[in-house]
Structure 1
Amino acid sequence: MKKINWNNIRLALILCVVVFLYSFSSKRNAERMIKTTDVEFADSENYITKDIVNKLLIQNFDATTGIQKVKLDLNKVEKSIDKNPMVERAEVYATIDGKLKAVVVQRKPIARIFEGSQSYYLDQRGGKMPLSDHETARVPIVTGDIAKVDAKKLQQLLGYIYDDAFLRKNIIGISVTSYGAIAMQSRGYDYEIMFGGPINIDRKFKNYKAFLQDAVRDTLITNYKTINLKFTQQVVCTKK
Protein backbone atom coordinates (compact mmCIF):
# COMPACT_ATOMS: atom_id res chain seq x y z
CA MET A 1 0.00 0.00 0.00
CA LYS A 2 1.33 3.40 -1.05
CA LYS A 3 2.17 5.69 1.86
CA ILE A 4 0.24 8.97 1.96
CA ASN A 5 2.45 12.09 1.81
CA TRP A 6 0.76 14.29 4.39
CA ASN A 7 3.23 17.15 3.80
CA ASN A 8 2.05 17.50 0.20
CA ILE A 9 -1.56 17.40 1.29
CA ARG A 10 -0.97 20.10 3.89
CA LEU A 11 0.79 22.30 1.32
CA ALA A 12 -2.08 21.83 -1.12
CA LEU A 13 -4.64 22.75 1.56
CA ILE A 14 -2.64 25.83 2.58
CA LEU A 15 -2.41 26.91 -1.05
CA CYS A 16 -6.17 26.49 -1.48
CA VAL A 17 -6.83 28.58 1.64
CA VAL A 18 -4.46 31.33 0.45
CA VAL A 19 -6.10 31.43 -2.98
CA PHE A 20 -9.55 31.55 -1.38
CA LEU A 21 -8.61 34.34 1.01
CA TYR A 22 -6.95 36.32 -1.77
CA SER A 23 -9.99 35.95 -4.04
CA PHE A 24 -12.33 36.84 -1.19
CA SER A 25 -10.36 39.95 -0.20
CA SER A 26 -9.98 41.03 -3.83
CA LYS A 27 -13.73 40.70 -4.35
CA ARG A 28 -14.50 42.65 -1.19
CA ASN A 29 -11.95 45.30 -2.15
CA ALA A 30 -13.47 45.66 -5.63
CA GLU A 31 -16.93 46.01 -4.13
CA ARG A 32 -15.87 48.70 -1.68
CA MET A 33 -17.43 52.10 -2.21
CA ILE A 34 -15.39 55.22 -2.94
CA LYS A 35 -15.98 57.44 0.10
CA THR A 36 -13.86 60.49 -0.69
CA THR A 37 -11.39 62.01 -3.13
CA ASP A 38 -7.91 63.41 -2.59
CA VAL A 39 -5.97 65.55 -5.09
CA GLU A 40 -2.24 66.03 -4.59
CA PHE A 41 0.10 68.20 -6.66
CA ALA A 42 3.66 66.99 -7.12
CA ASP A 43 4.91 70.61 -7.22
CA SER A 44 4.23 73.82 -5.32
CA GLU A 45 2.65 75.80 -8.18
CA ASN A 46 -1.09 75.91 -8.74
CA TYR A 47 -1.68 76.58 -12.43
CA ILE A 48 -4.66 74.27 -12.05
CA THR A 49 -6.76 73.98 -8.88
CA LYS A 50 -7.89 70.97 -6.89
CA ASP A 51 -11.50 71.85 -7.68
CA ILE A 52 -10.77 71.60 -11.42
CA VAL A 53 -9.10 68.21 -10.98
CA ASN A 54 -12.05 67.01 -8.91
CA LYS A 55 -14.41 67.99 -11.72
CA LEU A 56 -12.25 66.04 -14.15
CA LEU A 57 -12.38 63.06 -11.79
CA ILE A 58 -16.16 62.98 -11.81
CA GLN A 59 -16.88 63.94 -15.41
CA ASN A 60 -17.64 60.29 -16.28
CA PHE A 61 -19.75 59.71 -13.17
CA ASP A 62 -22.52 61.42 -11.28
CA ALA A 63 -20.16 61.68 -8.30
CA THR A 64 -16.86 60.37 -7.01
CA THR A 65 -18.38 58.91 -3.87
CA GLY A 66 -20.74 55.97 -3.56
CA ILE A 67 -19.17 54.25 -6.59
CA GLN A 68 -17.88 50.70 -6.46
CA LYS A 69 -14.14 50.54 -7.09
CA VAL A 70 -14.69 47.79 -9.63
CA LYS A 71 -16.71 50.20 -11.77
CA LEU A 72 -13.93 52.79 -11.93
CA ASP A 73 -12.02 52.97 -15.20
CA LEU A 74 -8.87 54.52 -13.73
CA ASN A 75 -7.04 54.63 -17.05
CA LYS A 76 -9.90 56.61 -18.59
CA VAL A 77 -9.95 59.00 -15.64
CA GLU A 78 -6.19 59.57 -15.92
CA LYS A 79 -6.50 60.36 -19.61
CA SER A 80 -9.26 62.89 -18.94
CA ILE A 81 -6.94 64.73 -16.50
CA ASP A 82 -3.95 64.46 -18.84
CA LYS A 83 -5.93 66.33 -21.50
CA ASN A 84 -5.96 69.48 -19.38
CA PRO A 85 -3.41 71.92 -20.90
CA MET A 86 -1.89 72.62 -17.49
CA VAL A 87 -1.16 68.96 -16.73
CA GLU A 88 1.93 67.01 -17.78
CA ARG A 89 0.73 63.71 -16.36
CA ALA A 90 -1.51 62.30 -13.66
CA GLU A 91 -1.69 59.09 -11.66
CA VAL A 92 -5.10 58.04 -10.36
CA TYR A 93 -5.70 55.11 -8.05
CA ALA A 94 -8.14 53.85 -5.42
CA THR A 95 -6.86 53.14 -1.93
CA ILE A 96 -7.93 50.26 0.30
CA ASP A 97 -9.77 52.62 2.64
CA GLY A 98 -12.08 53.86 -0.13
CA LYS A 99 -10.29 56.98 -1.32
CA LEU A 100 -9.95 57.99 -4.97
CA LYS A 101 -6.57 59.70 -5.18
CA ALA A 102 -5.06 61.74 -8.01
CA VAL A 103 -1.38 62.78 -8.03
CA VAL A 104 -0.91 65.52 -10.61
CA VAL A 105 2.34 66.73 -12.18
CA GLN A 106 1.84 70.15 -13.74
CA ARG A 107 3.61 71.45 -16.82
CA LYS A 108 6.50 73.80 -16.03
CA PRO A 109 6.58 77.12 -17.91
CA ILE A 110 10.07 78.47 -18.60
CA ALA A 111 9.12 81.70 -20.41
CA ARG A 112 6.16 83.85 -21.31
CA ILE A 113 5.95 84.60 -25.01
CA PHE A 114 4.36 87.72 -26.50
CA GLU A 115 3.89 87.03 -30.21
CA GLY A 116 1.65 89.43 -32.06
CA SER A 117 -1.69 89.50 -30.24
CA GLN A 118 -0.95 86.16 -28.55
CA SER A 119 0.51 85.60 -25.12
CA TYR A 120 1.32 82.14 -23.81
CA TYR A 121 3.87 80.17 -21.82
CA LEU A 122 6.55 77.95 -23.28
CA ASP A 123 7.07 74.78 -21.24
CA GLN A 124 10.21 72.71 -20.67
CA ARG A 125 9.52 70.56 -23.71
CA GLY A 126 9.03 73.51 -26.02
CA GLY A 127 5.24 73.24 -26.12
CA LYS A 128 2.79 76.11 -25.94
CA MET A 129 1.03 76.35 -22.59
CA PRO A 130 -1.91 78.69 -21.92
CA LEU A 131 -1.79 81.31 -19.22
CA SER A 132 -3.31 80.29 -15.90
CA ASP A 133 -6.24 82.04 -14.25
CA HIS A 134 -4.91 81.01 -10.86
CA GLU A 135 -1.17 81.68 -10.78
CA THR A 136 1.37 83.74 -12.73
CA ALA A 137 4.72 82.10 -13.43
CA ARG A 138 7.80 84.15 -12.62
CA VAL A 139 9.63 83.53 -15.87
CA PRO A 140 11.38 85.74 -18.46
CA ILE A 141 9.13 87.66 -20.84
CA VAL A 142 10.06 87.12 -24.50
CA THR A 143 9.12 89.80 -27.04
CA GLY A 144 10.17 91.04 -30.45
CA ASP A 145 10.47 89.34 -33.82
CA ILE A 146 10.39 85.80 -32.42
CA ALA A 147 9.90 84.19 -35.83
CA LYS A 148 13.42 85.34 -36.79
CA VAL A 149 15.13 82.98 -34.34
CA ASP A 150 15.26 79.19 -34.60
CA ALA A 151 12.58 77.80 -32.25
CA LYS A 152 14.73 74.89 -31.06
CA LYS A 153 17.70 77.11 -30.27
CA LEU A 154 15.48 79.58 -28.44
CA GLN A 155 14.09 76.67 -26.43
CA GLN A 156 17.64 75.60 -25.52
CA LEU A 157 18.48 79.14 -24.40
CA LEU A 158 15.35 79.45 -22.26
CA GLY A 159 15.90 75.97 -20.81
CA TYR A 160 19.47 76.89 -19.86
CA ILE A 161 18.25 79.99 -18.03
CA TYR A 162 15.52 78.02 -16.25
CA ASP A 163 17.93 75.31 -15.09
CA ASP A 164 20.41 77.83 -13.67
CA ALA A 165 19.28 79.21 -10.28
CA PHE A 166 21.19 82.49 -10.71
CA LEU A 167 20.02 83.18 -14.25
CA ARG A 168 16.43 82.16 -13.50
CA LYS A 169 16.35 84.77 -10.76
CA ASN A 170 18.11 87.55 -12.67
CA ILE A 171 17.13 87.36 -16.36
CA ILE A 172 13.66 88.90 -16.53
CA GLY A 173 13.29 89.86 -20.19
CA ILE A 174 14.40 88.69 -23.63
CA SER A 175 13.82 90.50 -26.91
CA VAL A 176 14.52 89.27 -30.44
CA THR A 177 15.62 91.77 -33.07
CA SER A 178 14.52 91.79 -36.73
CA TYR A 179 17.74 89.96 -37.67
CA GLY A 180 17.44 87.25 -35.01
CA ALA A 181 19.83 88.61 -32.39
CA ILE A 182 18.89 88.41 -28.71
CA ALA A 183 19.05 91.08 -26.03
CA MET A 184 18.28 90.53 -22.35
CA GLN A 185 17.25 92.58 -19.35
CA SER A 186 18.55 91.84 -15.86
CA ARG A 187 16.72 92.26 -12.57
CA GLY A 188 18.12 95.17 -10.55
CA TYR A 189 20.27 96.69 -13.32
CA ASP A 190 19.29 98.91 -16.25
CA TYR A 191 21.97 97.81 -18.72
CA GLU A 192 21.13 95.69 -21.75
CA ILE A 193 22.82 92.34 -22.31
CA MET A 194 23.64 91.88 -26.00
CA PHE A 195 23.68 88.12 -26.37
CA GLY A 196 23.75 87.80 -30.16
CA GLY A 197 22.47 84.55 -31.62
CA PRO A 198 21.43 81.65 -29.35
CA ILE A 199 24.74 79.82 -29.83
CA ASN A 200 27.70 79.16 -27.50
CA ILE A 201 25.18 79.56 -24.69
CA ASP A 202 27.28 78.01 -21.92
CA ARG A 203 30.40 79.97 -22.80
CA LYS A 204 28.60 83.30 -23.02
CA PHE A 205 26.86 82.91 -19.68
CA LYS A 206 30.07 81.83 -17.98
CA ASN A 207 31.71 85.00 -19.32
CA TYR A 208 28.77 87.05 -18.07
CA LYS A 209 28.95 85.58 -14.57
CA ALA A 210 32.71 86.18 -14.36
CA PHE A 211 32.28 89.76 -15.56
CA LEU A 212 29.44 90.40 -13.14
CA GLN A 213 31.45 89.13 -10.19
CA ASP A 214 34.30 91.54 -10.96
CA ALA A 215 32.04 94.48 -11.81
CA VAL A 216 30.03 94.20 -8.60
CA ARG A 217 33.23 93.95 -6.56
CA ASP A 218 34.64 97.07 -8.25
CA THR A 219 31.28 98.89 -7.86
CA LEU A 220 31.31 99.77 -11.57
CA ILE A 221 28.20 97.84 -12.45
CA THR A 222 25.89 100.88 -12.51
CA ASN A 223 28.11 102.70 -15.01
CA TYR A 224 27.35 100.38 -17.93
CA LYS A 225 24.76 100.83 -20.66
CA THR A 226 25.34 97.56 -22.55
CA ILE A 227 27.10 94.28 -21.82
CA ASN A 228 28.08 92.58 -25.07
CA LEU A 229 28.50 88.79 -24.90
CA LYS A 230 28.64 88.15 -28.65
CA PHE A 231 32.37 87.50 -28.58
CA THR A 232 33.09 84.31 -26.65
CA GLN A 233 36.65 85.34 -25.81
CA GLN A 234 35.77 88.58 -24.06
CA VAL A 235 33.00 90.76 -22.67
CA VAL A 236 32.71 94.19 -24.28
CA CYS A 237 30.93 96.94 -22.36
CA THR A 238 29.82 100.48 -23.16
CA LYS A 239 29.33 103.10 -20.49
CA LYS A 240 26.43 105.46 -20.10
Structure 2
Amino acid sequence: MKKMISYIRFVGLIVLIVALFAFTSERNKQRKINRVQIEFIEEQDPYVSELSVNKLLIQNQERVTNVGKEILVLNTVEQELDSHKMIEHSDVYLTVNGELRAQIKQRTPIARVNAVTPFYVDATGNTMPLSDSYSAHVPLVHNVSEREVKEVFPLLKMIQKDDFLKKHVVGVFRNHKGNYELEVRVYSFRTVIGKIENLNSKVKNFKAFYQKALKDKSLDKYKKVSLQFSNQVVCTIK
Protein backbone atom coordinates (compact mmCIF):
# COMPACT_ATOMS: atom_id res chain seq x y z
CA MET A 1 0.00 0.00 0.00
CA LYS A 2 2.82 2.37 0.93
CA LYS A 3 4.57 1.56 -2.35
CA MET A 4 1.36 2.36 -4.25
CA ILE A 5 1.00 5.74 -2.49
CA SER A 6 4.64 6.60 -3.17
CA TYR A 7 4.17 5.65 -6.84
CA ILE A 8 1.05 7.83 -7.11
CA ARG A 9 2.86 10.78 -5.52
CA PHE A 10 5.78 10.35 -7.89
CA VAL A 11 3.50 10.25 -10.94
CA GLY A 12 1.60 13.30 -9.64
CA LEU A 13 4.86 15.22 -9.20
CA ILE A 14 5.89 14.40 -12.76
CA VAL A 15 2.50 15.55 -14.10
CA LEU A 16 2.76 18.78 -12.09
CA ILE A 17 6.26 19.52 -13.44
CA VAL A 18 5.15 18.89 -17.03
CA ALA A 19 2.10 21.11 -16.55
CA LEU A 20 4.17 23.93 -15.07
CA PHE A 21 6.69 23.67 -17.88
CA ALA A 22 3.95 23.77 -20.53
CA PHE A 23 2.28 26.72 -18.82
CA THR A 24 5.55 28.65 -18.56
CA SER A 25 6.45 27.87 -22.16
CA GLU A 26 3.06 29.09 -23.39
CA ARG A 27 3.29 32.29 -21.34
CA ASN A 28 6.75 32.89 -22.71
CA LYS A 29 5.52 32.51 -26.27
CA GLN A 30 2.72 35.00 -25.71
CA ARG A 31 5.00 37.58 -24.12
CA LYS A 32 5.78 40.56 -26.33
CA ILE A 33 9.20 42.14 -26.81
CA ASN A 34 8.99 45.19 -24.61
CA ARG A 35 12.28 46.93 -25.37
CA VAL A 36 15.01 47.15 -27.98
CA GLN A 37 18.55 47.97 -26.92
CA ILE A 38 21.29 48.72 -29.46
CA GLU A 39 24.96 48.62 -28.51
CA PHE A 40 27.86 49.61 -30.76
CA ILE A 41 30.87 47.49 -29.80
CA GLU A 42 34.38 48.93 -29.95
CA GLU A 43 34.99 52.67 -29.98
CA GLN A 44 34.17 53.73 -33.51
CA ASP A 45 32.94 56.87 -35.18
CA PRO A 46 29.17 56.81 -35.88
CA TYR A 47 29.03 55.78 -39.55
CA VAL A 48 25.59 54.26 -38.99
CA SER A 49 23.11 55.82 -36.58
CA GLU A 50 21.01 54.11 -33.94
CA LEU A 51 17.93 55.30 -35.86
CA SER A 52 19.13 53.48 -38.98
CA VAL A 53 19.61 50.28 -37.00
CA ASN A 54 16.14 50.66 -35.50
CA LYS A 55 14.67 50.91 -38.99
CA LEU A 56 16.26 47.59 -39.87
CA LEU A 57 14.80 45.92 -36.78
CA ILE A 58 11.42 45.52 -38.44
CA GLN A 59 9.41 42.40 -39.16
CA ASN A 60 6.43 42.36 -41.53
CA GLN A 61 6.33 46.16 -41.62
CA GLU A 62 5.80 46.32 -37.82
CA ARG A 63 8.20 47.40 -35.10
CA VAL A 64 10.04 44.54 -33.45
CA THR A 65 8.57 45.53 -30.09
CA ASN A 66 5.11 44.53 -31.39
CA VAL A 67 6.21 41.07 -32.51
CA GLY A 68 5.67 38.01 -30.33
CA LYS A 69 8.86 36.27 -29.30
CA GLU A 70 7.78 33.01 -30.91
CA ILE A 71 7.62 34.57 -34.40
CA LEU A 72 10.77 36.62 -34.21
CA VAL A 73 13.54 34.82 -36.11
CA LEU A 74 16.84 36.14 -34.76
CA ASN A 75 18.89 34.86 -37.70
CA THR A 76 16.68 36.82 -40.07
CA VAL A 77 17.12 39.98 -38.01
CA GLU A 78 20.90 39.52 -38.01
CA GLN A 79 20.90 38.99 -41.77
CA GLU A 80 18.95 42.23 -42.22
CA LEU A 81 21.48 44.11 -40.10
CA ASP A 82 24.52 42.49 -41.72
CA SER A 83 23.22 43.48 -45.14
CA HIS A 84 23.62 47.16 -44.22
CA LYS A 85 26.61 48.63 -46.05
CA MET A 86 27.99 50.25 -42.90
CA ILE A 87 27.76 47.17 -40.67
CA GLU A 88 30.46 44.50 -40.54
CA HIS A 89 28.81 42.16 -38.05
CA SER A 90 25.81 42.01 -35.71
CA ASP A 91 24.78 39.79 -32.83
CA VAL A 92 21.07 39.78 -31.92
CA TYR A 93 19.61 37.97 -28.91
CA LEU A 94 16.66 38.00 -26.51
CA THR A 95 16.85 38.30 -22.75
CA VAL A 96 14.55 36.40 -20.39
CA ASN A 97 12.61 39.58 -19.60
CA GLY A 98 11.64 40.20 -23.22
CA GLU A 99 14.38 42.66 -24.19
CA LEU A 100 15.81 42.46 -27.72
CA ARG A 101 19.49 43.37 -27.80
CA ALA A 102 21.56 44.06 -30.90
CA GLN A 103 25.33 44.39 -30.74
CA ILE A 104 26.70 46.16 -33.80
CA LYS A 105 30.24 46.27 -35.18
CA GLN A 106 30.61 48.87 -37.90
CA ARG A 107 32.91 48.62 -40.87
CA THR A 108 36.14 50.63 -40.55
CA PRO A 109 37.06 52.95 -43.46
CA ILE A 110 40.81 53.44 -43.95
CA ALA A 111 40.79 55.62 -47.09
CA ARG A 112 38.41 57.73 -49.18
CA VAL A 113 38.59 57.44 -52.95
CA ASN A 114 37.94 60.71 -54.77
CA ALA A 115 35.95 59.34 -57.72
CA VAL A 116 32.87 60.58 -59.62
CA THR A 117 30.92 58.82 -56.90
CA PRO A 118 33.27 58.92 -53.90
CA PHE A 119 33.55 55.84 -51.71
CA TYR A 120 35.56 54.45 -48.81
CA VAL A 121 37.90 51.48 -48.73
CA ASP A 122 37.43 49.56 -45.49
CA ALA A 123 39.92 47.62 -43.35
CA THR A 124 39.17 44.40 -45.25
CA GLY A 125 39.87 45.90 -48.69
CA ASN A 126 36.23 46.20 -49.74
CA THR A 127 34.48 49.36 -50.88
CA MET A 128 31.79 51.02 -48.81
CA PRO A 129 29.65 54.11 -49.45
CA LEU A 130 30.11 57.42 -47.70
CA SER A 131 28.17 57.85 -44.48
CA ASP A 132 25.37 60.35 -43.98
CA SER A 133 26.21 60.47 -40.28
CA TYR A 134 29.96 61.02 -40.18
CA SER A 135 32.90 61.89 -42.43
CA ALA A 136 35.97 59.75 -41.75
CA HIS A 137 39.35 61.43 -41.31
CA VAL A 138 41.31 59.15 -43.61
CA PRO A 139 43.76 59.67 -46.51
CA LEU A 140 42.29 60.77 -49.84
CA VAL A 141 43.03 58.52 -52.82
CA HIS A 142 43.11 60.07 -56.30
CA ASN A 143 42.94 58.59 -59.79
CA VAL A 144 41.96 55.12 -58.56
CA SER A 145 38.86 53.24 -59.70
CA GLU A 146 37.02 50.43 -57.94
CA ARG A 147 38.85 47.79 -59.99
CA GLU A 148 42.19 49.17 -58.79
CA VAL A 149 41.28 49.08 -55.09
CA LYS A 150 42.80 45.61 -54.62
CA GLU A 151 46.04 46.85 -56.14
CA VAL A 152 46.41 49.85 -53.81
CA PHE A 153 44.95 48.18 -50.70
CA PRO A 154 48.30 46.86 -49.30
CA LEU A 155 49.60 50.45 -49.29
CA LEU A 156 46.43 51.78 -47.64
CA LYS A 157 46.56 49.03 -45.02
CA MET A 158 50.19 49.85 -44.25
CA ILE A 159 49.35 53.55 -43.83
CA GLN A 160 46.57 52.63 -41.41
CA LYS A 161 48.74 50.32 -39.30
CA ASP A 162 51.97 52.33 -39.25
CA ASP A 163 51.92 55.21 -36.74
CA PHE A 164 54.46 57.27 -38.70
CA LEU A 165 52.59 56.98 -42.00
CA LYS A 166 49.23 57.50 -40.34
CA LYS A 167 50.48 60.74 -38.83
CA HIS A 168 52.13 62.18 -41.96
CA VAL A 169 50.34 60.80 -45.04
CA VAL A 170 47.16 62.61 -46.06
CA GLY A 171 46.81 61.46 -49.67
CA VAL A 172 47.67 58.79 -52.24
CA PHE A 173 47.87 59.49 -55.98
CA ARG A 174 48.14 57.05 -58.87
CA ASN A 175 49.85 58.67 -61.87
CA HIS A 176 49.43 57.88 -65.56
CA LYS A 177 52.22 55.30 -65.41
CA GLY A 178 50.48 53.37 -62.67
CA ASN A 179 53.01 54.47 -60.04
CA TYR A 180 51.82 55.61 -56.63
CA GLU A 181 52.79 58.81 -54.84
CA LEU A 182 52.19 59.93 -51.28
CA GLU A 183 51.10 63.38 -50.18
CA VAL A 184 52.51 64.31 -46.77
CA ARG A 185 50.77 66.57 -44.29
CA VAL A 186 53.18 69.50 -43.95
CA TYR A 187 55.75 69.50 -46.74
CA SER A 188 55.09 69.96 -50.45
CA PHE A 189 57.46 67.37 -51.92
CA ARG A 190 56.05 64.35 -53.77
CA THR A 191 56.97 60.96 -52.36
CA VAL A 192 57.05 58.40 -55.17
CA ILE A 193 56.37 54.86 -53.98
CA GLY A 194 56.23 53.39 -57.47
CA LYS A 195 54.60 49.99 -57.83
CA ILE A 196 52.93 48.29 -54.88
CA GLU A 197 55.88 46.05 -54.06
CA ASN A 198 58.66 45.90 -51.46
CA LEU A 199 56.62 48.26 -49.30
CA ASN A 200 58.36 47.39 -46.04
CA SER A 201 61.75 48.32 -47.46
CA LYS A 202 60.46 51.50 -49.11
CA VAL A 203 58.75 52.70 -45.94
CA LYS A 204 61.83 51.93 -43.86
CA ASN A 205 63.97 54.00 -46.26
CA PHE A 206 61.46 56.84 -46.22
CA LYS A 207 61.42 56.97 -42.41
CA ALA A 208 65.22 57.08 -42.30
CA PHE A 209 65.34 59.86 -44.90
CA TYR A 210 62.60 61.85 -43.16
CA GLN A 211 64.24 61.73 -39.75
CA LYS A 212 67.65 62.76 -41.13
CA ALA A 213 66.21 65.57 -43.28
CA LEU A 214 64.12 66.77 -40.35
CA LYS A 215 67.22 66.91 -38.18
CA ASP A 216 69.11 68.76 -40.93
CA LYS A 217 66.12 71.07 -41.48
CA SER A 218 66.27 70.31 -45.21
CA LEU A 219 62.77 68.93 -45.86
CA ASP A 220 61.67 72.21 -47.51
CA LYS A 221 64.44 71.92 -50.11
CA TYR A 222 62.96 68.94 -52.00
CA LYS A 223 60.26 68.78 -54.61
CA LYS A 224 60.36 64.98 -55.12
CA VAL A 225 61.53 62.04 -53.05
CA SER A 226 61.66 58.73 -54.91
CA LEU A 227 61.60 55.36 -53.16
CA GLN A 228 61.34 53.30 -56.33
CA PHE A 229 64.94 52.16 -56.39
CA SER A 230 66.23 49.34 -54.21
CA ASN A 231 67.71 50.37 -50.84
CA GLN A 232 68.06 54.04 -51.68
CA VAL A 233 66.21 57.34 -51.63
CA VAL A 234 66.62 59.63 -54.64
CA CYS A 235 65.76 63.27 -54.00
CA THR A 236 65.14 66.10 -56.44
CA ILE A 237 65.88 69.61 -55.17
CA LYS A 238 63.53 72.49 -55.97
TM-score band w.r.t. shorter chain: 0.7 to 0.9
* CA drift at 1:14: 9.8
Query: Compared with structure 1, are the counterparts of its residues 45 and 21 closer, same or farther at alpha carbon in structure 2 (3 Å cutoff)?
Result: farther
TM-score (norm 2): 0.84
Query: Compared with structure 1, are the counterparts of its residues 62 and 210 closer, same or farther at alpha carbon in structure 2 (3 Å cutoff)?
Result: same
* Structure 2: distance between partners of 1:45 and 1:18: 51
Opposite residue 226 of structure 1, the aligned amino acid is K
Please state whether the residue corresponding to 1:47 is helix, strand or coil: coil
The CA RMSD measured in Å over matched residues stands at 2.8
Q: Give the 5 Å matches for 1:26-45.
A: 27-43=26-42, 44-45=44-45
* CA drift at 1:232: 2.8
2:224 touches 2:237 (CA, 8 Å); kept in 1?
Answer: yes
* Structure 2: distance between partners of 1:203 and 1:29: 62
Q: What does residue 3 of structure 1 align with?
A: none
Q: Give the 5 Å matches for 1:88-107.
A: 88-107=88-107
* Structure 2: distance between partners of 1:61 and 1:151: 38
1:142 touches 1:175 (CA, 8 Å); kept in 2?
Answer: yes
Please state whether the residue corresponding to 1:206 is helix, strand or coil: helix
Q: Give the 5 Å matches for 1:5-44.
A: 27-43=26-42, 44=44
* CA drift at 1:23: 6.4
Opposite residue 96 of structure 1, the aligned amino acid is V
Q: Give the 5 Å matches for 1:109-188.
A: 109-115=109-115, 117-144=116-143, 146=144, 151-188=149-186
* CA drift at 1:125: 2.4
Deviations 1:75-119 (A, max 9, x none): 11111111111111211111122211111111111211123x221
| Structure 1 unmatched runs, 5+ | 1-5
Opposite residue 219 of structure 1, the aligned amino acid is K
Percent identity (aligned): 38
Deviations 1:135-162 (A, max 9, x none): 1111111112x36x95433111111111
Opposite residue 123 of structure 1, the aligned amino acid is D
For this pair of structures, how many residues does the alignment match? 231
* Structure 2: distance between partners of 1:150 and 1:83: 24
Please state whether the residue corresponding to 2:38 is helix, strand or coil: strand
Query: Compared with structure 1, are the counterparts of its residues 169 and 32 closer, same or farther at alpha carbon in structure 2 (3 Å cutoff)?
Result: farther
2:59 touches 2:67 (CA, 8 Å); kept in 1?
Answer: no
* CA drift at 1:222: 2.2
Please state whether the residue corresponding to 1:65 is helix, strand or coil: helix
* Structure 2: distance between partners of 1:26 and 1:232: 71
Opposite residue 67 of structure 1, the aligned amino acid is V
Please state whether the residue corresponding to 2:103 is helix, strand or coil: strand
Query: Compared with structure 1, are the counterparts of its residues 210 and 63 closer, same or farther at alpha carbon in structure 2 (3 Å cutoff)?
Result: same
Query: Compared with structure 1, are the counterparts of its residues 14 and 234 closer, same or farther at alpha carbon in structure 2 (3 Å cutoff)?
Result: farther
**Could you tell me which of 216, 220, 223 is aligned with 1:218?**
216
* CA drift at 1:166: 2.4
